[in-house]
Amino acid sequence: MTRALITGLSGVCLTPAEASFLAAERPAGIILFKRNIGSFEQIRRLIASAKDAIGRDDVLVLVDQEGGRVQRVKEPIARNLPPAAVYAELYGVDPASACRSAFNIARLAATELSALGFNMNCAPVLDLPVEGAHDIIGDRAYGRSADQVIALGRAVARGLMAGGVAPIIKHIPGHGRATADSHLDLPVVDTKLEVLSRTDFVPFRALADLPAAMTAHVVYSDIDADNPASTSPLVTSKVIRGEIGFGALLMSDDLSMKALSGPIRARAEAVIAAGSDVALHCNGDMNEMVEAAEGVPRLSGEAAARFDAAIAAAKRFEEFDVAEAEHELISIWSS
């Protein structure tokens, strides 16, 4: 049975230890980073090797391909993509044109990712930054208006799915107010729930029908002052599954981020106990990978059904005009 874990890998080739680990644990997915990227054929071989080791084809293969400063696969393997802020600026002038460009360029990106073997992209970012927040979100945001973020986020998600790549909305229920980078520290947001409900939660509520979401390592003190959202049963049940109404595959942000504390196994246990379907561990450290696997169950029940639905969402393809999408990308970069 499938282990409720998405794991990173250490380098450009699968090591014997990693192959044994994947065969024994059969994780739900893998995620690749810059350290795993060499060439087009190398990426395809690495993904194929991981799937062979796991022993099945229905594996989630993730990458962070937002565009701008968060893009793992770049030229010459894949086209360089603009950051979300570029679409936000265009939206202020011509909303329809901005959404069309966002869709077409996401569709083009999905074609490239799918050809490499990826079927899931950690995008779009639906966070709403506020004045004074840490710039970890910054130009990764599609704007500061919920309506604008909803429109552009939906366009990107549609473009990805049309190219056979399932989107992951992040960082649910909202990272935009954080005054710290959760890779390095644990952010605490003291904003009242009633304010969060009518601002930060709105884009996630509007796109709650999408196939996957990633939680935030952020404490919302008015909801649960003791635990970040990713390890808070209260935030998951009351806000993410409750008020926002997100019913699809829920994964944690990276277990190895410094926002969390304690042993990796305890972190993995905590995100699953809080209500995530799968835990995400990214750094490719074998000892930590083993700990993470020990802290999560095999997928069953609703979690298994959500995993199956995410796999199905990554198998939808629609025809599109490649030339038009390429023109949109050129126009974006030249504007």
Which residues does the annotation mark as catalytic? 183, 253
In degrees and rounded to multiples of 5, residue 182 shows phi and psi of -70, -10
Secondary structure of the chain: what % helix, strand, coil (to 5)? 45, 15, 40
* Distance separating alpha carbons of residues 70 and 48, to the nearest angstrom: 24
- Give Cα separations from 114 to 20, 139, 167, 315 (angstroms): 26, 25, 13, 10
- Residue 24 makes CB contacts below 8 A (sequence gap 6+) with none
Q: Is the bond preceding 173 in cis, omega lying within 30 degrees of 0?
A: yes
* Distance separating alpha carbons of residues 76 and 80, to the nearest angstrom: 9
8 A C-beta contact, residue 248 and residue 306 = yes
- Give Cα separations from 186 to 20, 180, 213, 259, 307 (angstroms): 34, 7, 20, 4, 28
8 A C-beta contact, residue 171 and residue 224 = no
Report the SS3 class of residue 221.
coil
